[in-house]
Amino acid sequence: MEKLIEILEELQPEVDYESCENLVDGRYLDSLTILALISEIENNFGVLVPAVEIIPSNFNSVKKIWELIERLKEEE
């Protein structure tokens, strides 16, 4: 999960990812940042994020993003 936080901090450095649970709903991550994040997730974690998984609830917190990554790893 540390690598995920590093990626997020590179994309959007002024957010406290440890405690924030409304990254999308609070507009800390916009659509372009999410697309860049998905690219980084795919490159760094070896998973493909299908379009059906690109929903706010999957990206509202580091915990939810990590759960998505773990789920996608299991499905491969």
Q: What CATH number corresponds to the domain at position 60? A: 1.10.1200.10
Return d(Cα 13, Cα 63) in angstroms, integer: 18
Residue range(s) defining the domain that contains residue 19: 2-75
Number of folded domains in the chain? 1
CB 41 within 8 A of CB 73: no
What mean pLDDT value characterizes the chain?
96
Structure confidence at residue 60 (pLDDT): 97
pLDDT, tens digit (0-9, with 9 covering 90-100), for 32-54:
999 999 999 999 999 999 999 99
Asked if residue 62 has pLDDT above 90, the reply is yes
Structure confidence at residue 76 (pLDDT): 79
Structure confidence at residue 38 (pLDDT): 98
Residue of 60, 76, 61, 49 lying closest to 1 (CA atoms): 61
CB 44 within 8 A of CB 54: no
Return d(Cα 76, Cα 61) in angstroms, integer: 23
The predicted model scores a pTM of: 0.94
Return d(Cα 3, Cα 21) in angstroms, integer: 18
